[in-house]
Chain A
Amino acid sequence: MTVEAKLGQVANYVDERTGAAAFLKKSLRKVFPDHWSFLLGEVALYSFVILLLSGTFLTFWFDPSMREVVYEGAYQPLEGVKMSAAYASALDISFEVRGGLLMRQIHHWAALIFMAAIVAHLLRVFFTGAFRKPREGNWIIGVGLLTLGIVEGFLGYSLPDDLLSGTGIRIAEAIIQAIPVVGSYLSYFAFGGVFPGELFIPRIYIVHVLLLPGAFLALITVHLMLVWYQKHTQYPGPGRTEKNVVGYPLMPMYMAKAGGFFFIVFGVTAFLAAVASINPIWLYGPYTPAQISAGSQPDWYMGWLDGLVRMAPPIETYFFGYTVSWNILIPGLIIPGILFTGMALYPFIESWITGDKREHHLLDRPRNAPNRTALGAMSLTFMMVTLINGGNDLIATHFDLSINQIMWGTRFGVFILPPLAFIITKRLCLSLQRADRELVLHGRETGRLLRMPSGEFVEVHEPISPEKAFILTSHEQLPALELPAVDARGVKRAGALKNKLRARLSNANAVAIPKVSTEDLKEIESH
């Protein structure tokens, strides 16, 4: 029997039991737009799969127990040292299991790339406005995935119970117990008593391998189903409208490209794991609360939190026998809470400012949304400044600076630099809009000079293609909202203060260089 006939038999078998043919006939021809920036989410997705696979491998040997053992394994410098069974089993994976160290490294590198891809993907979605209706829900799921990713990564690298990650747990415990009223109770419940206890590692193990992966699977499934059902957004261009999707069909093009990209991501991760050492726990030593290493940092995606905690002013308040540690609560819980809540609610904030309640499937070029782009640049700057402070001791030793200088620099920088970044980015966007307008009106400068019969020198401009002119002018430029303080009869409107704020924000948001219209072009042609 030929291959086609065999496949036909299988298809028939499945269809008679599920009626899948109808669904599949449409799905296999589903169109996806093609742009490299749409692959960032895929990097995150594939990294997640790699984490599942490599993580499962590790669970076959890892012992999540804090029971004290004496090491008798292959790594000589730790011979006879007392440590937890978790740490000892992680050492065994590294040194006794063939491929164990490789798998540990694949798992950790995949985690770092997972988080990096999520952040890069988030930035792409933000700067292109892909979170607007109907995709607000997906944005919130994405912010949720980011948050869970940070927690999952922290728990994951804490499992081997080494000196560096154990210090991280100590710090996490201090944050928990600093919570007013219930802090000590929460800490005792989490750790089963005083720190470090014997229950924390086994508990976070279950969170790390069962509860959070389950949550990820559920959220990622909904996230992808929404993308599938709502169809992917696309960049503006000739032939692309709000009502269509232009691209290539799933079968065969995307199956091959996306499937192939999975192997690429896995291959690059494995390559990193082969040539770059990560988390050498045997050098850190087992965790004990009386030891610490210089240059102790969390993984990069928590570096900004560490930087915030380092730069916090030393404020605690005491009253009636109670202590409130603002120096821990503000950088550790309050600021991250505000930031992530603001991030999750951003689609609604933006639609409140613009008053735009329509569906959007065409992406914005970042320069055409100067306020949003500037806001994004501001947030990025904030993250970079705090991240730098998180590594201030390493930066000090490598660049001959002092940690005190860097700390003070970032303490001020975190207030001064983000607004500066906002202003500069907004100006940059408007300049780019101006440049676009020039390009459409006058064409591309060719660098060739022409001498006119009158003696004047002019530079020859080449008109741009209609496709390019369309891309540069197809964006929307919404006017600011009209929110008069009084209505037609002179009666003051309700919610006047909120409306004033909204009007101001809306006005600021609407600042733009007017795009070129056909009238403008006709005017140009006439002279």
Chain B
Amino acid sequence: MSSQLEPIKDPGLPAHVHRKTDTDPKAADRAERQVAAMFGISALGTVLLIISYIFVPDDLFIFIPIMGNQNAHQLGLGLGMAIALFFIGLGAIHWAKTLMPDQEVVMQRHEFRSPEEDRKAFVDTVKEGVSSSGLGRRSLIKRSLGAALGLSALSPILLLRDLGPLPGPEQKMTNWKSGTYLVTDPGDRRIKASDLEVGSVAQVMPEFADPKDRHLDDIAKDALLLIRLRPAEFNLEPDRLAMTHEGIIAFSKICSHMGCAVALYEQTTKHLLCPCHQSTFDVTRAAKVIFGPAARPLPQLDITVDDEGYLIARKPFSEPVGPSFWGREK
């Protein structure tokens, strides 16, 4: 409180101002009619909903300005429901505002703190209860109860063990093995090195004996991007250059940041952009990260061709694909 200075006095509740509907019965009747009209509009809304549901075919489209072609069935149902609900609300509120008593009422707050006798009685009751239960005195009961409860809490945790298998070697492996053919996705066609032009990009998968066996779990780690550049455009260490074939370079399509599909290839800059968090990878430098939150380059797959010129993997990825995890060695 500002110590010695006296604050300005509370003038008290302002005098009640009567509404027109309080003093003029005609105004009150008019308000009543307005409320009834709103309820009436609501009823019309319900009728619109019912008619749309039963009679309007769901493949009829009508043109609404600004919105374009709209499904009439949808629009009828939705607007009908909206009108039906909204005008009930409007009517109820208008009724409250104009016709219900609006005298401000003052209600006193009660102190929350209980009276001293109650507080003391509560403390006494609890103390008495605890001591009569014997918990305080009988330490053997206390300790053994603690042990039993604590142990029993372990069972639910244990029962959840089969939520999933423990992480295994599959966490770090893909279906790319030595000699696996690269096939188009979709289509499952083997792809020749000569099928790719400079500047072209293709999404490929490892060949499966039966393409129907390929599930999303496999796609989530196998997805591969093939990009063809002119060999002179590469700026690679010799070991990485050896993993390319005549300007074709293969990267995991799964972002090393958080696992989105990285496929925005900019032909002019030779950059790969991930649309999720805008990590940018430089293809000419083995997908080195040049912008954005990704910390590691995309894993590169060692590719070559077989005798007929079809692209194959020379060996598996030398590191796990996708986002990082605790046990991932650099």
Binding site for B on A (CB under 8 A): 29-31, 68, 98-99, 101-102, 105, 134, 167, 170-171, 173-175, 177-185, 187-197, 199, 230-231, 238-239, 241-249, 252-253, 256-257, 259-268, 270-271, 273-275, 287-296, 306, 309-316, 318, 321-325, 327-328, 331, 359, 361, 392-393, 403-404, 407, 440, 466-467, 469-470, 473-474, 476-479, 514-521
Residues of the A chain whose Cβ atoms lie less than 8 Å from the Cβ of B74: 101-102, 274
| 8 nearest A-B residue pairs (beta carbon) | A274-B78, A267-B86, A260-B92, A263-B89, A239-B13, A517-B5, A264-B89, A267-B85
- Out of A68, A231, A310, A325, name the residue touching B278 (CB < 8 Å): A310
Q: Are B6 and A518 in contact (CB under 8 A)?
A: yes
In the complex, besides A289-B254, A323-B325, 10 extra interface pairs with C-beta distance below 8 angstroms are A31-B106, A184-B327, A185-B166, A239-B11, A271-B86, A288-B219, A289-B223, A289-B259, A403-B278, A519-B5
Binding site for A on B (CB under 8 A): 1-3, 5-14, 53, 58, 67, 73-75, 77-79, 81-93, 95-97, 100-102, 104-109, 112, 160, 163-167, 170-171, 185, 203, 215-217, 219-221, 223, 253-254, 257-261, 263-264, 275-279, 289, 291-296, 322-330
Known contacts A68-B215, A247-B105, A517-B5: A239-B10 contact under CB 8 Å: yes
Known contacts A179-B326, A239-B12, A476-B1: A260-B89 contact under CB 8 Å: yes
Residues of the A chain whose Cβ atoms lie less than 8 Å from the Cβ of B88: 260, 263, 267
Residues of the A chain whose Cβ atoms lie less than 8 Å from the Cβ of B102: 248, 253
- Chain B nearest CB: distance from A354 CB in Å? 13
**DSSP majority for the B interface?**
loop
Q: Are A98 and B293 in contact (CB under 8 A)?
A: no
- The distance in angstroms between the C-alpha atoms of A246 and B2, with both chains bound, is 26
- The distance in angstroms between the C-alpha atoms of A403 and B9, with both chains bound, is 58
- The distance in angstroms between the C-alpha atoms of A493 and B149, with both chains bound, is 43
Residues of the A chain whose Cβ atoms lie less than 8 Å from the Cβ of B7: 473-474, 515, 517-518
Residues of the B chain whose Cβ atoms lie less than 8 Å from the Cβ of A521: 8
Known contacts A289-B259, A314-B295: A238-B14 contact under CB 8 Å: yes
Residues of the B chain whose Cβ atoms lie less than 8 Å from the Cβ of A187: 167, 325
Residues of the A chain whose Cβ atoms lie less than 8 Å from the Cβ of B1: 476, 478
* CB-CB nearest in chain A for B45: A267
Q: Are B258 and A316 in contact (CB under 8 A)?
A: no
Q: Are B217 and A239 in contact (CB under 8 A)?
A: no
- The distance in angstroms between the C-alpha atoms of A262 and B90, with both chains bound, is 10
- Out of B78, B165, B324, name the residue touching A323 (CB < 8 Å): B324
- Out of B81, B108, B164, B327, name the residue touching A274 (CB < 8 Å): B81
Q: List 14 A-B contacts (CB under 8 A).
A: A194-B170, A194-B221, A238-B12, A239-B14, A247-B104, A253-B102, A259-B92, A268-B86, A289-B220, A318-B330, A404-B291, A470-B10, A519-B5, A520-B5
Residues of the B chain whose Cβ atoms lie less than 8 Å from the Cβ of A520: 5
- Chain B nearest CB: distance from A466 CB in Å? 4
Q: Are B2 and A517 in contact (CB under 8 A)?
A: yes
Residues of the B chain whose Cβ atoms lie less than 8 Å from the Cβ of A466: 8-9, 11
- Chain A nearest CB: distance from B12 CB in Å? 5
- The distance in angstroms between the C-alpha atoms of A331 and B258, with both chains bound, is 13
Q: Are A195 and B220 in contact (CB under 8 A)?
A: yes
